[in-house]
Structure 1
Amino acid sequence: MNLTYQRINLRLAGEFRTAVATRTDKQTLWVKVTHDGVEGWGEAVPMDTYGQTLESASEALRDMAALLADRDPFEVEHIVAALLDRFDGQRAAVCAVDAALHDWIGKRLEIPTARVLGLSTKCIPVTSYTIGIADPEKLADRVRAAAGYPVLKIKVGTARDEENLAVIRATAPKAVIRVDANTAWSVDETIAKLPMLVKYGVEFVEQPIKPGDADGLRRIREAGHRLGREAGRAGSICPLVADESSVRPRDVAALAGCVDGINIKLSKCGGIREALRMIALARTLDMKIMLGCMIESSLGIAAALQLAPLVDWLDLDGHLLLSEEPFEGIGGAGGRLALGQGIGLGVRMHPTLSDNA
């Protein structure tokens, strides 16, 4: 099996700001495995949050290429396990190889990857559409531009959070709203904000505090459930979902009783195989599951979509934030993503790019 990779710069349609960063573009890595005349593709999005860079991921992929030279892609379970054992700190790179292997297997068998996994992507949740931090006037414009999406994920973490939520709710009175603080709040601040989040009809809050504070998450969850009981509601008044605190399977077990749900991202956990383990464990622990993404092309989104039938919430909009989409194959409207009838991951590189790949 031959493995090659290339760096890609994805340009955003506009400035995208969170509580921790502002971006106008995003660099990723595309990985290609070739075996018996069949190609498989995957995408890696290295995250500095976890000590990953393009350089470190590229170095890992160079080493992986040598390790995989004599392997058969059908050995995906053993291959991914071995890569995670050796490259645990480079899970984005492992994710790209994992996706490429699953793409290869589907193409070799001439069926969609979801069918290889015993799944169908015909009936999946609606994806949220993310609105970055901005001043109220720009926020209103962005919400109006996203009118076709019934579920909005709002980035928060500034002194104007309540003002911004008021603007968003007034602009989109029927939208489902979720908020993501990207670790910008403290425990006490989050607890104090719960009634405000409920006021604006927020469905859940994602990762309000820094990772590594399971007790803090537990306090927030307990406060939400206490307020829920006082309001005569079952469960939390505003459920708590872990993102940065939920990286790999062992994190899921550690979060039992601390959160109401987890956000699984393939580039974060290491790919489809690890995501399946996290999903199974979360279900055992009665947690809700969101399948999320980074800013990435449809190549990365397509890999995640294979698992969409297994989760409660989708946040697979990274490709929708790009000025140009380099891959074809994901359609749909109104937040309902749809893969075509293509084999493997179901996407193909745009013809204007494929000659140079």
Structure 2
Amino acid sequence: MFIEVEIELKELLLKKPFVTTRGAKTSIHQVFLSVNWKGYVGVGSSLLPPFSLAMKNQLLSIITEWNNLIRNRSPFEREFIIRELIKEGGTAFPFLITSLDIALFDLLGKSVNLPVYKLLGLKGDSNPVSSMSIGSLGEEELIKEIKLLKEYPILKLKIASFNELNYLQKIRTEYSGRIWVDGNCSLQPEDLEGAIHILEENKVELIEQPIPPGNYKELKKIKGSSLVKVVADEDCAKPQDLFLLTECVDVVNIKIHKTSGFSESLLMARLAKKIGFEVMLGCKTESVLGVTAIQV
């Protein structure tokens, strides 16, 4: 029985705009891949840039080429399949590789009647408590959102400027739970000392990627200077990035879509723990299928 990959591109509308330093999103674009083999179907998805008709036709053509290359393979040759497709230019479309890797693992699990976490050699312990992200908003609108979400144990506030840190004092009058702040690269190195002071005053546990990537010396200055943990996101995309971040951050945020699949994500998580980092598993604004994958 041949392996066959099918592709579907979708634009998913958001209930409300999600604002970050990169602008306001009202919808997201997703690629969904399904892999068929012996009556089993594995599915995977990833974010992709807004697609045009030309891009859609190009991706359909790529999937046709992939089917010709792997049709005689089985999902048990997953590593070989991924390696061969990368050699054939798959790195130009990392979202396809990510989706395929997830779909192949899903297919493997279904074919042997095992959950994917067991295929990966994981314990399957209960998932840690997750945070609810809130996009960058004006103070009044943010407080309204906080009131709606005050039952969540952790809120992650995305900011687009230093000034938004001043909202924390008002937030603390409405919310007593755990707070994380995602800087989204919005601060400058000279802002860090003042930012840490405000975060400490308002009992914020961590700040994620406060400044643009590559500023290792500046991150090193604030790591350990307070109880506020420093998290790398944009600075942490591949395993080799971990070695640049030693003594710079406390936590690394690993996202499947950044690492191009389960295999690389698991490698990064294990390596990060060996080095001494805490590990956060993150996602983008994506489909339920994409978010579910990180819980494996």
Aligned-pair distance for 1:298? Answer: 1.6
Q: Cα–Cα, structure 1 residues 84 and 202, in superposed 2: closer, same or farther, change >3 Å?
A: farther
Give the match's secondary structure for 1:88. helix
1:296 aligns to what SS in structure 2? coil
- Asked if 1:155 corresponds to 2:175, the answer is no
Alignment counterpart, residue 2 of structure 1, candidates 4, 20, 33: 4
The match for 2:141 is: 138
Structure 2 residue 111 is the aligned partner of structure 1 residue 108 = yes
Return the offset for 1:84.
4.3
Identify the residue that residue 70 of structure 1 maps to in structure 2: 72
Return the offset for 1:215. 2.8
CA–CA distance in 2 between the matches of 1:41 and 1:58?
17
Distance 2:146 2:236 in 1: 29
| 2:219 matched residue in structure 1 | 217
Q: Supply the distance in 2 between the matched residues of 1:55 and 1:288 (Cα, whole angstroms).
A: 42
Distance in 2 (CA, whole Å) between partners of 1:39 and 1:80 is 18
Question: How many angstroms apart in 1 are the aligned matches of 2:166 and 2:194?
Answer: 16
Specify the alignment match of 1:302 in structure 2.
292
Any unmatched runs of 5+ in structure 2? none
Q: CA deviation at 1:36?
A: 1.2
CA gap 1:56/1:168 in 2 versus in 1, 3 angstroms: farther
The answer to whether the 8 Å contact 2:208/2:232 transfers is: yes
Q: Which fold has the larger relative contact order, with Cα–Cα distance below 8 Å and residues 6 or more apart in sequence?
A: 1
Distance 1:54 1:282 in 2: 37
Which residue, out of 242, 264, 272, partners 1:252?
A: 242
**TM-aligned CA deviation for residue 147 of structure 1:** 2.2
The equivalent of 1:12 in structure 2 is 14
**Aligned 8 A contact 1:7 1:27 in 2:** yes
Hey, what does 1:197 align to over in structure 2? 199
Secondary structure of the residue that 2:172 maps to in structure 1?
Answer: helix
Whether the aligned pair in 1 keeps the contact of 2:98 and 2:256 (CA below 8 Å) is yes
Give yes or no for contact 2:162–2:186 (8 Å, CA) kept in 1: no
Aligned-pair CA distance for 1:260: 1.1
Q: CA deviation at 1:160?
A: 3.0
Matched, 1:125 2:128: yes
TM-score (ref. length: structure 1): 0.75
From 279, 299, 303, the counterpart of 2:269 = 279
3-state SS in 2 of match to 1:74: helix
Quickly say closer, same or farther: Cα 1:88–1:253, change in 2 above 3 A. Answer: farther
Q: Which residues of 2 match residues 303-322 of structure 1 at below 5 A?
A: 303-306=293-296
Note closer, same or farther for the CA distance 1:14–1:76 as it changes in structure 2 (3 Å cut): same
CA distance in 2, matches of 1:184, 1:78: 40
Q: Could you tell me which residue of structure 2 aligns to residue 41 of structure 1?
A: 43
Per mean C-alpha deviation after superposition, the further-off stretch among 28-37 and 89-98 is: 89-98
- For 2:127 and 2:150, the matched residues in 1 are separated by 21
Q: Does structure 1 conserve the Cα–Cα contact (< 8 Å) formed by 2:166 and 2:198?
A: no
One-letter amino acid of the counterpart of residue 163, structure 1:
N
Instruction: Report the equivalent of 1:23.
Output: 25
Q: Is the 8 A contact 1:73 1:104 kept in 2?
A: yes
Q: Is the 8 A contact 2:237 2:254 kept in 1?
A: yes
1:239 is the counterpart of 2:229: yes
Given that residues 61 and 93 in structure 1 are in contact (C-alpha distance below 8 angstroms), is that contact kept between their aligned partners in structure 2? no
Aligned to 2:256: 266
Q: The residue matched to 2:91 in structure 1 has which SS?
A: coil
Which deviations, in whole Å up to 9, do the C-alpha atoms of 1:117-162 show, x marking residues without a partner? 2334451201100011111121111111112311010001225313
Q: CA RMSD in A?
A: 2.2
Contact 2:159 2:165 in 1 (8 A): no
CA deviation string 1:182-208 (max 9, x = no partner): 111111212331111111111111011
Conserved in 2, the CA contact under 8 Å of 1:46 and 1:54? no
Gap change, CA 1:216 and 1:71, over 3 Å in 2: farther
